[in-house]
Structure 1
């Protein structure tokens, strides 16, 4: 029978690598060239419109495809990897490359034919005007005072009630 020497540090290192791989997969950081990811967005509701801002650094405006419907906004594009010559050593990159896509549902209907777009410093800003029915309308509500109510209405017996009032049972 052969004796095998136990190496606890090697087993701990193997366990650490496996846990790192699990967390990387959960976080979506497995960097494959065709992996889809979603740019961060911010949606602000104003009186007349919605303001959608998307963080897309490193991409030119001509490489973006933005489509707007009355209910949603779709932003698509691709980060292209620059060709770099590796002369010596290992090459490491934590940048995200590949295609990206984000579809944002809107809380109210918008006029998609009047959308304005601006792309500056890696931030795409879309001004989405609301349809007139979706704009906030302030309406004054008149509240009747209880003392102005007619006394005969307040003193009428409730004839629509079908609940029988039973006497409590004796124990």
Structure 2
């Protein structure tokens, strides 16, 4: 009988290689790949004393193709990046661009005045300034430290 040393990491490497092969571009039909990897816009949220500043990265999308809805507690954005098909000759085109519809719901950390929101859309960046509700600006929480101990 031969004694073989077991290496658990080797099995993990094999599993990772098999999963990578499963999701290789050549193995999946393009329609399945497009449906499963829906691209949502990246967001950046900054909170100051007076407002919440939200920036969304939306390159290649025109303002008319966006729908932005703001409630007191969340921002909902949806839109569509339309593909431009060109038939200028023969050849193969491989694209990593993501086309199609997207939607994203971003919950806000505090209530805002959704009637006073300002927006700016420039160079594919949507910037929303969401002023906080008056009661949120004045909100102070007193901690009871007597119960700790």
Q: Does the pair score TM above 0.5? A: yes
**Which aligned segments of 4 or more residues in structure 1 are displaced greater than 4 angstroms?**
15-18, 136-139
- Partner Cα distance (1:67, 1:31) in 2: 29
Q: CA deviation at 1:119?
A: 0.3
- Partner Cα distance (1:71, 1:135) in 2: 15
Residue aligning to 1:87: 89
Residue aligning to 2:128: 126
- Return the index of the structure with the highest Cα Rg: 1
Q: Is the 8 A contact 2:117 2:128 kept in 1?
A: yes
After superposition, give the CA deviation of every residue in 1:9-33 in whole Å (9 maximum; x if it has no partner): xxxxxx9686233377xxxxx6426
Q: Root-mean-square deviation (CA), in Å?
A: 2.7
SS of the residue corresponding to residue 64 of structure 2 reads helix
- Partner Cα distance (1:127, 1:66) in 2: 13
Give unmatched runs, 5+ long, in structure 2.
1-15, 26-31, 142-149
For residues 134-145 of structure 1, the aligned pairs below 5 Å read: 134-135=136-137
Q: CA deviation at 1:90?
A: 1.4
SS of the residue corresponding to residue 60 of structure 2 reads coil
Q: CA deviation at 1:51?
A: 0.2
Residue aligning to 1:52: 54
Give unmatched runs, 5+ long, in structure 1.
1-14, 25-29, 140-171
- Partner Cα distance (1:68, 1:130) in 2: 13
Task: Kindly tell me the number of residue pairs found equivalent between the two proteins.
Answer: 120
Q: Report the TM-score when normalising by structure 1.
A: 0.62
Residue aligning to 2:116: 114
Residue aligning to 1:73: 75
